[in-house]
Amino acid sequence: VPTTILALQHFNTFTERLKDLPCTVDYVSRLRSVKDINSIRQRLKEGKIDILIGTHKILSDSFEFKDLGLLIIDEEQKFGVSAKEKLRKLRSSVDTLTLTATPIPRTLQFSLLGARDLSIINTPPPNRIPVQTEIILFDKNEIKSIIEYELNRGGQVFFLHNKVEELPAIQEILHRLIPDMKICVAHGQMESKTLENRMLEFIRGDYDLLLCTTIIENGLDIPNANTIIINQAQNIGLSDLHQLRGRVGRSNRKAFCFLIVPPLTTLTDDARRRLKAIEEFSDLGSGFNIAMQDLDIRGAGNLLGAEQSGFIMDMGFETYQKILSEAMEELGVESGIAPKQGRSSYHTDCTIETDQQALIPDSYIDVTAEKIRIYKQLDSLFSDKEIDLFALQLRDRFGILPKELENLLEVVKIRNAGARLGFEKIIVKNGMFIAFFISNQMSPYFRSDTFSTILDRVNTGAVNLEFKQSEGKLKLITRKVDSLQKARSILSKLE
């Protein structure tokens, strides 16, 4: 579990529910003494503890499990990638169950892709009522009436403000609004014992209002607290807002969640989308819908790495795949475990500019999805033989290839040949053929066998090309190239 308070609460719940069973339950957190921790370590190593509940503290190497069989990660969204992987490494064959009301975008993406199994608990406990969620402006009179309504029906209130240094000022404002209200303050910078006592006193009903930071968001169960007011809600993440809202409505009473924000016109688009989502999805079991919105707003993060949110579409999926495959090929070649794929190791792509139409015309294939699929297939072909075979398949399926499509196939062949020869860009326009070499004049490409071969072919007149240099860029130029076929023929002579 992510917090000490939640560890203690789980320990009490487990102990109560398993008291008639032969199970030994214990917990680890910063609230325990050194003597207790050492005792737990020893009993854990000997297999005398059946269930251990703990915070990040159990990640340390000093905790040895005799026979770990099941790992349960509660409030998974609060753990980073490194922490979760360290938990998994406690034992390679351990079964893992992660619990969360709002999965992190990357975790949700893994589940949607089928990399992890996904179960959704949609049925709430009996007599639960959805929390009514409202977005309001900071109005002292409205805040006063909200708090008084809850206190008059015998309930308690959470008031959340996520800046510790401003809590005394907020406490003063609340005290002036309702002088006889008992207020206690809780935040993560308190001494652990003081924090624990404050929370227990609030649970017992000694205070009417708990003024706090987001430390309360993880799993606290206080059935008598049924109103939560979140100040500056625009600065809090979507999953965090849902978790905070879940602190109320844990009994059969109607609960309320009020989100205090500045005028909506002053907020960013993402903040408005978050607030709209949290207001719209207020039914019981709506955490999955909120997580989907979070995935949509923040993106799915890195497939391989520590970032758990972020947009692959910032660069595009095709570009991402290309960069990934190039990096993997480069690593494979460097380590000697994979052969080169016939492309230049100095440059992996070549841009083509031409004044001739090179595309799949609508008159040949009019289904957009099919055209996109064919374009993708063409992009993955790297040899002339593969392209010729692909052309035969197209002819079998759709008939004789139009001129525009034949040009497109030639463009792909020119691009592949250009990449193999180390050209960054090739222009075939107005009867001119211009091939640009790598921009970096210090590149080892200019000392390679590939460049030496091109140099020899041009100098001996084997191909009608001349070197030119302008604006620091070296290029090969020739004229009277009025077709893409002629351009490809020139490149063939250079290889």
- Interval 139-176: pLDDT, tens: 999 999 999 999 999 999 999 999 999 999 999 999 99
- Quick one: CA torsion of 486, 406, 369, 383, rounded to 10 degrees? -60
pTM value is 0.54
Same domain (yes/no): 107, 147: no
Q: What is the mean pLDDT of the chain?
A: 82
* Residue 358: per-residue pLDDT: 92
Domain count for the chain:
3
Look at 47-56, 285-294, 307-316 and tell me which has the smallest mean pLDDT: 307-316
Average pLDDT over residues 74-90: 69
Which of 239, 254, 284 terminates a domain? The answer is 284
Same domain (yes/no): 107, 136: no
Which region, left, alpha or beta, applies to residue 423 given φ > 0 means left and ψ of -120 to 50 means alpha? Answer: beta
Taking 80 as the threshold, does the pLDDT of residue 354 lie above it?
Answer: yes
* Residue 295: per-residue pLDDT: 55
Same domain (yes/no): 61, 184: no
Q: Give me 431's structure tokens.
A: 């009867």
The DSSP-derived string for 165-191 is GGHHHHHHHHHHHSTT--EEEE-TTS-
* Residue 161: per-residue pLDDT: 94
Strand partners, 227: 157, 256
Same domain (yes/no): 155, 219: yes
Look at 67-81, 184-198, 288-302 and tell me which has the smallest mean pLDDT: 288-302
* Residue 473: per-residue pLDDT: 85
- Does residue 237 belong to any structural domain of this protein? yes
Q: Give the DSSP H/E element, type plus range, for residue 478.
A: strand 473-478
Reference 160, options 171, 148, 151; nearest CA is: 171
- Does residue 290 belong to any structural domain of this protein? no
Same domain (yes/no): 71, 200: no
Same domain (yes/no): 272, 373: no
- % of the chain with per-residue pLDDT over 70: 80
Taking 90 as the threshold, does the pLDDT of residue 238 lie above it?
Answer: no
Which residues lie below 8 Å from residue 217, measured CB to CB, with a gap of 6+?
240, 243, 244, 247
Same domain (yes/no): 98, 189: no
Q: How far apart are the first and last CA of the chain?
A: 62
- Does residue 320 belong to any structural domain of this protein? no
Same domain (yes/no): 144, 275: yes
Same domain (yes/no): 161, 89: no
- Does residue 121 belong to any structural domain of this protein? no
Same domain (yes/no): 43, 167: no
Taking 60 as the threshold, does the pLDDT of residue 17 lie above it?
Answer: yes
Which residues lie below 8 Å from residue 480, measured CB to CB, with a gap of 6+?
431
Same domain (yes/no): 107, 164: no
Reference 74, options 63, 58, 93; nearest CA is: 58
Q: Name the residue with higher pLDDT: 77 or 410.
A: 410
Q: Give me 1's structure tokens.
A: 């579990």
- Does residue 179 belong to any structural domain of this protein? yes
Q: Name the residue with higher pLDDT: 49 or 302.
A: 49
What number of residues does the chain have?
495
Taking 60 as the threshold, does the pLDDT of residue 315 lie above it?
Answer: no
Which of 81, 113, 145 terminates a domain? The answer is 113
Strands (E), 90-203: 95-99, 132-136, 156-160, 183-186
- Does residue 329 belong to any structural domain of this protein? no
* Residue 342: per-residue pLDDT: 45
CB 338 within 8 A of CB 329: yes
* Residue 211: per-residue pLDDT: 94
- What are phi and psi for residue 359, nearest 5 degrees? -165, 175
* Residue 341: per-residue pLDDT: 47
- Does residue 44 belong to any structural domain of this protein? yes
Q: Give residue 402's Cα distance to chain centre.
A: 44
Q: Name the residue with higher pLDDT: 440 or 34.
A: 34
Look at 39-43, 213-217, 383-387, 410-414 and tell me which has the smallest mean pLDDT: 213-217
- Does residue 277 belong to any structural domain of this protein? yes
| Residue 195 belongs to domain spanning | 132-284
Looking up residue 439, the CATH number of its domain turns out to be 3.90.1150.50
Taking 80 as the threshold, does the pLDDT of residue 303 lie above it?
Answer: no
Same domain (yes/no): 139, 101: no
Q: Give me 62's structure tokens.
A: 């000093």
Looking up residue 228, the CATH number of its domain turns out to be 3.40.50.300
* Residue 97: per-residue pLDDT: 85
Which of 284, 313, 334 terminates a domain? The answer is 284
